[in-house]
Amino acid sequence: DTGVSQDPRHKITKRGQNVTFRCDPISEHNRLYWYRQTLGQGPEFLTYFQNEAQLEKSRLLSDRFSAERPKGSFSTLEIQRTEQGDSAMYLCASSYSGGGDEQFFGPGTRLTVL
Amino acid sequence: SQKIEQNSEALNIQEGKTATLTCNYTNYSPAYLQWYRQDPGRGPVFLLLIRENEKEKRKERLKVTFDTTLKQSLFHITASQPADSATYLCAPPGSGGYNKLIFGAGTRLAVHP
């Protein structure tokens, strides 16, 4: 069990550019979550997948954000036309619906928009 | 809207003492509540889950209580060690199912030798 992995760990981009992050959950986990965390705050929920279906999206997720989980395994989060306010840590978590309710988090992707 | 409040000020204690962290929630009644530990630059790590029908849960030096009347959970670390220094996050599930978590801002704990 290698845990949840995220790539890249750090991303610096210029305002207006598009960025894409990847999350590989624990292999048997069918639930996958994306959260965003800014300095001094707790993580905020962005979106949830059960297998390949995106079942919930937060109102925080503007039209510039899109997430996919095409085969029910890894997931990608894309931000188009990045803004400085998008600078944050993007966290992915996974869990198994047949197990407990705890979520297993990846190390996060730190995004800096210049 | 659902609101989770944790002590925003850092908690500084001496090694060996018991640390007590508070989590208050308003505007709903979660069926359970989780506590996570987060070290700088890393993702949260699950510690304990307590359900509404449980008053207390223990794991090694950790203890969590859940008072649904007061809408409060307390998180205790006994015999604290410098390695316990981290930010501790309270996280009940949000409404609407799917077990998404609503996190508090966290309380930073510093244990001094």
CB contacts, 8 Å: B5 with chain A: none
Query: A1 pLDDT band (50/70/90 cuts)?
Result: low
User: Kindly report the CA angle at A6 between B45 and B40, in degrees rounded to 5?
Assistant: 45
CA distance B31 to A30: 22
CA distance B4 to B95: 13
CA-based nearest distance B79→chain A, Å: 25
Task: For residue B95, give the nearest of B23, B27, B49 by alpha carbon.
Answer: B27
Spell out the residues 6+ positions from residue B69 whose beta carbon is closer than 8 angstroms to its own: none
B99 vs A56: CB contact, 8 Å cut-off? no
Spell out the per-residue pLDDT of chain B, length 113, in tens.
788 999 878 999 999 999 999 999 988 889 999 999 999 999 999 999 999 999 899 999 999 999 999 999 999 999 999 999 999 999 999 877 778 999 999 999 999 99
Nearest CA in chain A to B41: A107
CA distance B43 to B26: 26
Phi, psi of B82 (to 5 degrees): -55, -30
B96 vs A55: CB contact, 8 Å cut-off? no
CB contacts, 8 Å: A106 with chain B: 43
Mean pLDDT across chain A = 94
CA-based nearest distance A18→chain B, Å: 23
CB contacts, 8 Å: B89 with chain A: 42-43
Over residues A97-113, the mean pLDDT reads 91
Burial label for B42, CB within 10 Å (0-12, 13-18, 19+), is middle
Nearest CA in chain B to A50: B98
Tokens of B79: 């015999």
Of B32, B94, B106, the CB nearest to A42: B106
Interface test with B, best of A103, A104, A110, A112 (most B CBs within 10 A): A103
